[in-house]
Every structure is written in structure tokens, then in C-alpha cells.
Amino acid sequence: MEPAIRTDGLRKSYGDVVALDGLTFEVDEGEFFGLLGPNGAGKTTFINVLVGLVRKDGGTAEVFGFDVETEYQEARDRIGLAPQEFNVDRFFPIHEVLEHKAGYHGVPSDEAERRAEEALKTVGIYDKRDTRFDWLSGGMKRRFLLARALVTDPDLLILDEPTAGVDVQLRRDLWGVIERLNAEGTTILLTTHYIEEAERLCDRVAIVDSGRVVEVATPDDLRSRGTDQLYLTLDETLDAVPDIDLDGVVEARVDGDSLVVTAQGGSRLAPSLLRELEYEGYEVTNLDIRRASLEEVFVDMTRTDDEAEQLGAIHQ
Amino acid sequence: MSSTFGVGFRSLLKREILRFVRRPKNTFLPPAITNVLYFAVFGVVLGQRIDDIAGFDYIVFILPGLVVLGAISNAFENSSFSIFHGRWNEYIHETLTSPLSYSSMVLAYILAAALRGLVVGVIIVAIGLLFTPVPLEEPLFLAAFMLVIPTLFAALGVVGGLLAEDFDHLTVMNQFILRPLVFFGAVFYSLDILPPLYRTLSLLNPMVYMVNGVRYGFLGFQEVDPILSLGVLSGLTACVVALDVYLFKRGYGLID
């Protein structure tokens, strides 16, 4: 089975600015795949290469085995795109915009009409079907972009910041729609700045920085690479940090009544830590493990050298 | 995958046609009013004081030129505006990210724009009929020229829509390139009245061949061989359409 997306050494530059610098990864069919990265990491450029809005300088990109340039019609027929920008035809009411879009994908007019109706109902703006895009509220505009991506019944749904600037309720509504589509077999490629969104929705995420893939893993796997914090409450006030000699411990410090131990694999380390403290004569009355968030891992992985140096200077 | 003239092509063609049909106040009314003024002022008020040209009343003589002027302006404006506005607001991405072939996209834009030019041409003839009887000596030639000429300018409009970087560029193309060529294209006068040098220079103006061809269709009067004109214009149209498809394939003005 061909992967939904396969890229190899994808490159794109705008003058001196390198947007994609050898981007290589695969997204499996049926997967919910997240693309995380800071602004300017190359996420939107990558998406635009897939749909034909950016011409790559080098490398290959395929959608379900079809090259995005030499077999562009087959590749684009399988993609539904909800972009960041509101790039919608302003001349027609939204139901007609959807019918036109379905038509461009070869859907006959009767079927296009039915699909447009269904897509508008799916995203909850059917009662606005005769309204032009400009007259929709911001949240409705986001919903409409999703409807337009759905109306062609794509095998690969690409969502570029689909919940940017929308309220919590709408975000959850959109999550529900997207999760249902994925459960029905649609491959999803999601870019987002909301880490919690990626944590909740994605099977795997790729962290992209400076046009390269820094890491591809499941959210759980990525989190496990971060450092957890173990908050231990002891039966006595500490004047100094106890001597802890365990693999994986990065730092230990006293914070009020607690001993705070920063370590990789906190849950795994906890029993050993408790035994060591008990051996040294301390009695632990409470233990709280705060796992590394994907956000912290993301920040660590995408931090620039300059930022790292600045942080180092602050801590010193 | 749909063929060049499949459902996708017909959908884009329908969209393009609906865009101008649903806005008659913006698309059909302005040329109608303009041509009422042309016929009234140049045809009636001034025309009565001008002698016949080649045996035709002045108002009858200028009618074919006005038809060409209206048809090419509107054909050019339609495709250039549609593509530029789509680029400006980025909704042309709806088309570009679809599985339509580039030739289907281009042909849909061109045919819709050519249709608008043709409809405006018919409107101008209808207005002319309010002022004077309009002869129809060579209907097949007229039909051929009225298919080729708007198609050529619709295809040029695609180039204009891709080249333009703001709305002013579209105005410049229409007002400062098309209109002067038309006005010096023997719309309002016969080439015979020009001194030899200006007559020769006029023959370098492609509008002369268009106006001459349409005039031949209506009046049976020719100053340039209409078959040669039709052949040259058809060839030119094919070249510009091919250029359009090439530019779309390259993504010129459309993609990064």
C-alpha cells in the first residue's frame, strides 16, 4: 500500500531564504499526522508543494504514490485542503462555491449540490448557505474552509492551522468532525500551533524546524524524551539537597517544603528514588510526578542556538 | 480523471459565465450606454455632417468598428479581471488545487470571456438597429470574425491577468494599449483618406484587420483581404492560447 504522503529531500528556497531543506518523511494511509514547528519552519510551504501552489526546487513529493508535479491531476484529486488564509470566491453564495469546487473535481452537478448541502450540515452552517463568504463570522469562515475541503470527499485532508483564532467550543466541534473523518478512514495532515491539539488528535507528529524534520514520533514517545519533575514532600524541612546518585536525574533542588527532582522517565525512576531517600534516612510523605508536556519537548527541539545560549546565560 | 472538456471544465466555464451574467449592471449596461452615446453623437449629430464613406452612411460605416471595440474590450476585461481578482484574493487557488488540467482551466477562462465579448457585440448591433438599418452581406465571415476576435482578446486578457500586479495595470492595458489601437484601427475612418505613410503604418496595427473583417461581414466592404485577415488572426489566437497554457503550466503569476 502506498503511503498517503511520501517526500524525499524536498527543497525550496526564496532567494537566500531556505524554506524547505531536504524535508523527508512519510504519512501512512489512514493516519492522523501532525506537523509542528515554529513560524517560518516550512510547514505551509510543504503543504503548498503538495497541492501545487509552490514549485519545489528539488526532491520528490508523492500523494498516494502520485508525483505532485508529473501526476498532478491524480494527486490533487485525492486532496482536500483547508488553508490558513480565507481564499474563498467572493462572488457567489457559499453553497455555490462548494458546488463549483466539487465540479472542478469532476463531481456532476446533482451530486455536487447534495455534497455541498451535506458538507455545510457537517460543519453546522447550513442555514447560511445563501450567504456570501464575506458576511460570515470568523468562526463560520473557519467552518466553511473545512466544508470546502470536505466537499470533494478527499482521501487526504490537509488542515493548515484549522482552529487558529476560534473559540474553545468551536475548536472542540471541529475536532469532533475531524476525528470522525479520520475514524472513517480519511488520512489527516494537521499543522497547528496548539500543542494540546496535536497531543489529543495525532497518531504521530513530525517536528519541523528550518525546513527539516527534526523528529517524527508519537506524542507519547516524544513526551518520554522530555524531563519529568518529581515533587517529593518529606517529613522534615530540608536545609540542603540530599545526595541522589541515580541515572537519569538531571537536577535536584529544594522548593519550600518539597524536594524537586528533574529526571528523564520520572515514573520509572520514582521507586529507586524513594528507596534511595529512605536509605539516607528521609521519609517521603507525598509524591507528585509532573510529566513533560509535548510543548516543552517541542520548545527544546526547536530552540535556536542563540536562544539556548541566552537561556544558559540567564540560568548562570 | 476528467477530460479537457469534462465535468471540471464545464464547472469552471459555468462559474465564469455566471460571474458576468449575474452582474449586468457591471458587465452589459456600461457598453450599452457607451454605444448609445457613440451612435447618437458620432452617428447622428456628427454623422449627418459627414459625407458617405465608400457609399455608406457614416453611422453604418462606424458600426462594425464599434462592435469590435466593445467585443474586444469586454473579452479582455473579463478574463484579465477574473484571473487577476482571483489572484489578488487568492481564490484562484480553488481552481489551481483542483485536478483540472491546465489546458481545461485556460480554455474555460477564455471561452467564458469570449462569450461575454460576443454578447456585448450583439448588444451593440441591437443598439445600432435603433438608429439605422444594419446590412448583413457576409454572415459567415461575420460569424467567423466574431468568434476569432473575442477569443483572441480573451486569450490576451489571460496574459494580462497573469502579468498585472495591481488593478491599475489592468486599466493601463485597456485604456492605454487597446483603446488607442482600436481608435487608430480605422473604426471611425477609411484607410483611403489617410496619407500613404499613415496608411502603411496603419497596416501594422492588428486592429485594422479585425475592423476590416467585421466590416466586410456587415457591409461587404473591404480594404484588406478578409481571408488573409481571418487566417492571420486565427493563427495569432492559437499562439496566444498556447502561451496561456504554457504560463499556467509554469505557474507564472499563480504560484511561488
ipTM: 0.87
CB B97 to CB A77 under 8 A?
no
The per-residue pLDDT for A264 is 79
The per-residue pLDDT for B27 is 93
Give the pLDDT mean for A286-291: 84
Of A222, A249, A279, the last residue of a domain is A222
In terms of residue numbers, what domain contains A132?
Answer: 5-222
- Ranking A219-233, A292-306, B72-86, B149-163 by mean pLDDT, the lowest is A292-306
Contacts of B22 in chain A (CB under 8 A): 91
The per-residue pLDDT for A192 is 83
Q: What is the pLDDT of residues A95-121, one digit of tens each?
A: 999 999 999 999 999 999 999 999 999
A108: nearest CA partner in chain B: B7
User: Which ranges in chain B belong to alpha helices (H)?
Assistant: 7-21, 24-27, 29-38, 58-88, 93-96, 102-131, 139-163, 167-172, 179-183, 196-202, 206-219, 226-250
Distance CA B126, CA B131 (A): 9
Assess whether A213 and A235 both reside in one domain: no
Assess whether A256 and A174 both reside in one domain: no
Burial code (b: 16+ CB inside 10 Å, e: under 16) for A187-224 equals bbbbbbebbebbbebbebbbbbbbbbbebbeebeebbb
The per-residue pLDDT for A315 is 40
Residue A231 has pLDDT above 60, yes or no: yes
The per-residue pLDDT for A64 is 95
Burial code (b: 16+ CB inside 10 Å, e: under 16) for B192-203 equals eeeeeeebeebe
Distance CA A219, CA B101 (A): 39
Q: What is the number of domains present in chain A?
A: 2
Give the pLDDT mean for B241-249: 96
Among B118, A228, A131, which residue's Cα sits nearest to residue A144?
A131
Give the pLDDT mean for A289-316: 62
Cell 452582474 belongs to residue:
B23
CB of B205 within 8 Å of any CB in chain A?
no
Assess whether A56 and A203 both reside in one domain: yes
CB A106 to CB B91 under 8 A?
no
* Most confidently modeled range among A41-50, A192-201, B166-175: A41-50
Q: What is the pLDDT of residues B187-228, one digit of tens each?
A: 888 888 888 898 888 888 888 999 999 999 999 988 888 998
Q: What is the pLDDT of residues A238-255, one digit of tens each?
A: 778 888 888 888 888 888
CB B255 to CB A55 under 8 A?
yes
A122 occurs within a structural domain: yes
CB A53 to CB B93 under 8 A?
yes
Contacts of B89 in chain A (CB under 8 A): 87, 90
Q: What is the pLDDT of residues A123-140, one digit of tens each?
A: 889 999 999 999 999 889
Give the pLDDT mean for A217-222: 82
Average per-residue pLDDT for chain A: 87
- Ranking A185-189, A294-298, B31-35, B116-120 by mean pLDDT, the lowest is A294-298
Assess whether A190 and A51 both reside in one domain: yes
Assess whether A218 and A259 both reside in one domain: no
Supply the pTM of this predicted model: 0.85
Q: Which residue has the higher pLDDT, B244 or A295?
A: B244
Assess whether A124 and A266 both reside in one domain: no
The per-residue pLDDT for A198 is 84
Contacts of B8 in chain A (CB under 8 A): 103-106
- The CATH number covering residue A193 comes to 3.40.50.300
Assess whether A107 and A247 both reside in one domain: no
A302 occurs within a structural domain: no
